[in-house]
Copies of this chain bind each other. A is one copy, B any other.
Amino acid sequence: MKKIFFTPGPSQLYPTVPGHIKRSLENNISSISHRSDTFHAIFEDSVSSFKKLYSIPKENYVFFLSSATECMERIIENLVVKKSLHFVNGSFSNLFFSISASLGIDAHKIEEPMGSGFNIENAKVPPGIELACFTQNETSTGVATPLKDIYHFKKINPNTVIALDIVSCAPYPDVDFSIIDCVFFSVQKGFGLPAGLGILVIKPDVLERLKYVKKKKTTLGSYHTFENLLKYYQKSETPETPNVFYIYLFGQICKDFQKVGLHKIRKDTENKSQLIYDLEKNKSFSPFVQEDRLRSKTTIVLNVKNGSKSLILSLKKKGLVVGGGYRELKEKQIRIANFPAHSITDVKKLLFAIQSFRN
């Protein structure tokens, strides 16, 4: 039976991925040296396709790391000496907080309950915050923080570096990469690839901070310091032998997305998400996120009146894999990923199966 994965990550592969994998095997992509001109060309092609797709300024740097979690660690190691601030309303925003704390940083939280958003405009920012971290799309709860609130925060705190996690929404949110200092995600969500690659986009002026941080800290890490990543980026390489195969695949997907057009992908995402949220017309379902304007378009979390366990199982038997609620909400909710890999036909098939379900 053909399965469709609506899980919020790892998720459904984008339909062109198997073809790209086949061609990459034919072309020995996984065997070529990461110090060769062939690799330089792949690296440059991936970076430029990605920048073109996502309207990223030419001068921004794109670092290839191994996961979004690694991006969090490297941002803290390289950009924070003493204090970071985290807007926490779920498990992944809290992960960023924990990573900072475990790296010995005085990490502060502004916390809201799961399913809620923030009053960013009136947030009480403790003095001396060097880095503020936002999780644009909280995968655990389906809350999407409006970008304009984050831009506003940067406007009133111009000297605070902003890190933005767009793990489970990219390339949906129309991020202004000339405003946000560090933006990161992993490729196994919206980009429909296997897991194992984290993408970190950095504004060049942020790296001016490194001089200061280097003076204040014993270490900023080793092979993946921003200084070292930059040194290799400038020769279209990475410090270690990277995942050449996935860097190649990432570039191919960016080009596929360009062909469809990001505008259309975004429009489709909105249309599909509307169909999914319309499930609330059926009294068995209600969106976990109360405020309509905060509801994620890419990871949709619904409370299921009589519990989600038997629904999830019944869908699974039909080859339709959806996520449960996160951790303690596992058997009370369903989480549905709505990524570019999910066609409107797939979504309608899922919704039909959900509507037909009788407990």
Q: Write the nearest CB–CB distance from A346 to chain B, whole angstroms.
A: 13
**Contact yes or no, B196 A67, CB < 8 A:** no
Q: Which residue of B lies closest to A246 (CB)?
A: B196
- Whether A241 touches B67, Cβ cut-off 8 Å, given contacts A30-B194, A246-B196, is yes
Please tell me if A225 contacts chain B, counting CB pairs below 8 Å: yes
**25 A-B contacts (beta carbon < 8 Å):** A5-B31, A10-B31, A10-B32, A10-B33, A12-B31, A18-B25, A21-B25, A30-B188, A30-B193, A66-B66, A67-B240, A67-B242, A68-B240, A69-B241, A70-B223, A73-B222, A73-B224, A76-B222, A95-B223, A98-B222, A103-B219, A195-B241, A195-B242, A196-B196, A196-B197
Contacts of A241 in B (CB 8 A): 9-10, 67-69, 186, 188, 195
What chain B residues lie within 8 Å of A12 (beta carbons)?
Answer: 31
Does B195 contact A30, Cβ atoms closer than 8 Å?
yes
- Assembly of this chain: how many copies? 2
The yes or no answer to A171 lying at the interface (CB within 8 A) is no
A222 partner, pick from B66, B103, B194, B223, beta carbons under 8 A: B103
A21 and chain B: residue at smallest CB distance: B21
Interface of A is mostly: loop
For A245, the chain B residues whose CB sits under 8 A away are 194-196
- Which A174-217 residues sit within 8 Å CB-CB of chain B? 186, 188, 193-197
- Cβ–Cβ contact A323 & B99, under 8 A: no
Complexed CA–CA distance, A124 and B240 (Å): 31
Inter-chain contacts of A32 with B (CB < 8 A):
5, 10
CB distance from A326 to the nearest CB of B (A): 10
Contact A194 B244 (CB under 8 A): yes
- In angstroms, Cα B95 to Cα A45, docked, is 29
A297 within 8 A of B: no
- State which residues 219-252 of A face B: CB under 8 Å: 219, 221-225, 239-246
* A28 proximal to B (CB < 8 A): yes
When distances are taken between beta carbons in the complex, the residues of chain B under 8 Å from A13 are 25, 30-31
Q: Which listed residue, B10, B31, B104, touches A34 by the CB 8 Å rule? A: B10
A282 sits at the interface (CB 8 A): no
> Counting chain B CB atoms within 10 Å of each CB, which of A98, A194, A221 scores highest?
A194
Given A10-B32, A241-B10, answer yes or no on A219-B25 (Cβ-Cβ < 8 Å). Answer: no
Chain A: number of interface residues, binned into ranges: 35 or more
Is A218 an interface residue, CB under 8 A from the partner?
yes
Q: Does A273 contact B (CB under 8 A)?
A: no
Chain A 288-320 interface residues, beta-carbon cutoff 8 Å to B: none
Does A7 make an interface contact (CB < 8 A)?
yes
Q: Within residues 94 to 144 of chain A, which ones have a CB less than 8 A from any CB in chain B?
A: 95, 98-99, 102-104
Does A3 make an interface contact (CB < 8 A)? yes
Q: Would you give the 0/1 interface string for A26-50, flagging 1 where the beta carbon is closer than 8 Å to chain B?
A: 0010111110000000000000000
* Residues of chain B with a CB closer than 8 A to A188's CB: 30, 241
Shortest A232–chain B CB gap in Å is 12
A11 at interface, CB cutoff 8 A: yes
Q: Distance (Å) between the CB of A186 and the closest chain B CB?
A: 7
Q: Report chain B residues within 8 Å CB of A7.
A: 31, 33
A243-B194 CB under 8 A given contacts A10-B34, A18-B25, A31-B5? yes
